[in-house]
A and B are shown apart, each in its own frame.
Chain A
Amino acid sequence: MGTITFEGVSKIYGGQREVRALDDISLTIGEGEFVALLGPSGCGKSTLLNVLAGFEKVTKGELLFDGTTISKPGPDRGVVFQEAALFPWLTVWQNVIFGPQVQGMARPEYEPRARQLLDLVGLTSFADALPVQLSGGMRQRVGIARVLVMNPRALLMDEPFGALDAQTRLSMQQLLLDVWQKLNTTVLFVTHDIDEAILLSDRICVMSARPGRIIKTIPIELARPRSIASLTSPEFIAYKAEIMADIRITDHH
């Protein structure tokens, strides 16, 4: 459950100048796997995630989720946005239970789980606060909780910690590691932070820009469970050196 398959997927944005945002992408992400998508700005990372979420249609190729073609967004693929995208008129609690509510679930079905998740992300005492009253990191945690409450088979995260300061970012990465190690859902994580990609993922796909292609796949075989302490281990540094070399090569093209 939670298998993602790209088979020769291309995405071309029309308009005055055509942009080949994704070019013949083939990629399989297995059940429970954590894949990071790394690449320079404008290389098509968000586009890849958006077609997978069902927000955009593919131009060519086949895109499957657990064997079925993706046609529209749905709660089986939980998306965490860069700017959280919480509903500003709803409280933290209302934001978290939005998904189960609109799916017509009965209150006793989702309430215990929602409370548990709110507790997991450390926001129980902020249940009645509005998103504007939260810090960026807290908002992002609500964004994660509201997705996890739906029990998705895959988590799609588009630079979820990109707007956070370094310290908050570290604590969010730790939180995500903890949560993922507990739940074992498939995760596709977009970032342009090399450290973040190595720390979190089982595999890093490096993308190049125009046309958007996956130029290299690097398995990360650091021991799990990981924590932010892994950031300074020698293996970690070795991976970092390797990836930086790859990126430099693509830059010179």
Chain B
Amino acid sequence: MSSSSERVSSDTDGKRDTVSSWTGASLAARRGLRTAALAVVLPLAVIIIWQYAGRGGSLFGGVLPTPDRVWEAWRIWAFGPTGLGLNPYSGTWLANLLFSAERVGKGFLCAIVVGVPVGIAIGWNRISAGTLDPTIQLLRPIPITAWLPFSIAVFGIQDIGAIFLISLGAFFPIVLNTAQGARDVERNLIRASLMMGAGRWTVLRRVVLPASLPSIFTGLRIGLGIGWTAVIVAEMVAVKSGLGYVLWDAYYVGRMDVVIADMATIGLLGLLSDMIIMQIERWVLNWRRLQSYQS
């Protein structure tokens, strides 16, 4: 039945494949370079204007330090000697970054572990949707900032409070998107699996879950973004370490250079974590990528 014209490019024609993947690689590299170049134009322009607009190292009458000062502050914050010198931030950048990242990681993981099963249950089963969805919709409009007093009262000034806020913030987008994905599973895929003898659990695990993954990943990306917001808010108020704590502390003692270096760190960290998720998504959803590339 299969004629020689019916071929998949991936594993049949080895030689041509290596050639095309070679040129493909260099093409991709060039495209990547151009994307990167385009991406830095705007930030670079802002930094340059900001630098030259400043007089005597600051703007707005000493409030906003120029980029060179921010850079210097970051350098000392990152690589300066630690200890009880005049600069309490010296050498603490990595430690604080790791504090924040660890909290986001833990909170995000909790949100996934609870959010994905709950989302699947809501999207798949009418009774669990009826029981869980109204409560979730009721809690969802309460911003994480409004949960702060509650969290401090219950958990005290501790890590667990920050982790609670992060998982709460990330939970809602994960649940909503997972539920949407589970609701939208193609009817014939479910029917096909039932026809082949799959039980309820097998349908959930082997059909509903994989079919929902594209939506789940959308939820994860939004959830992670909210997680970073939550960690900063929590650290500003409810714990005594991390990037959020440094941010607020530096503001109090008038170290705007550290404040801005801190903000830049948060931004880059958020970007990095999003890129990691996207990379995992690309790897897990290879089938979907092929689908969308084929026109």
Query: Which residues of A approach B to under 8 Å, CB–CB?
Result: 53-55, 72-75, 77-79, 81, 83, 85-89, 98-99, 102-103, 121-123, 125-126, 128-135, 138, 141, 146-147, 150, 171, 175
Query: By the criterion CB–CB under 8 Å, are B202 and A122 in contact?
Result: no
Of A74, A85, A122, the contact of B197 (CB 8 Å cutoff): A74
Tell whether A73 pairs with B191 under 8 Å between CB atoms, given A135-B6, A146-B196: yes
A81 & B197 in contact (Cβ 8 Å cutoff): no
Pick the contact of A73: B8, B194, B294 (CB < 8 A): B194
Name the one of B6, B10, B192, B199 contacting A79, with C-beta atoms under 8 angstroms: B192
Q: Verify A129–B287 contact, CB threshold 8 A.
A: no
The number of inter-chain residue pairs (CB within 8 angstroms) is 96
Residues of A near B193 (CB, < 8 A) are 98, 102
Q: Once the chains bind, are B195 and A133 in contact (CB under 8 Å)?
A: no
**Could you tell me if B8 and A129 are in contact, using CB atoms closer than 8 angstroms?**
yes
Is B206 located at the chain interface by the 8 A CB criterion?
yes
> Would you call B210 and A87 a contact (CB within 8 A)?
yes
The distance from the CB of A192 to the nearest CB of chain B, in whole angstroms, is 19
Give the residue name and chain of the B residue nearest to A102 (CB): B198
**Contact call A75/B196, Cβ cutoff below 8 A:** yes
Contact check, A129 vs B10: say whether CB atoms are below 8 A apart.
Answer: yes
Q: What is the bound-complex CA distance between A130 and B288, given in angstroms?
A: 10
Residues of B within 8 A of A99 (CB): 196-197
Nearest Cβ on chain B to A167's Cβ, whole angstroms: 11
A150-B191 contact, Cβ under 8 Å, with A126-B8, A128-B11, A141-B1: no
Indicate with 1 or 0, residue by residue over B1-21, a CB within 8 angstroms of chain A CB atoms: 110001011111000000000
A-B contact pairs, 30 of them (CB 8 A): A53-B195, A72-B194, A73-B191, A73-B195, A77-B195, A79-B195, A81-B188, A83-B188, A85-B186, A85-B188, A85-B191, A86-B192, A87-B206, A99-B196, A102-B193, A102-B198, A123-B1, A128-B10, A129-B11, A130-B290, A131-B287, A132-B290, A132-B291, A133-B8, A133-B10, A138-B6, A147-B196, A150-B196, A150-B197, A175-B1
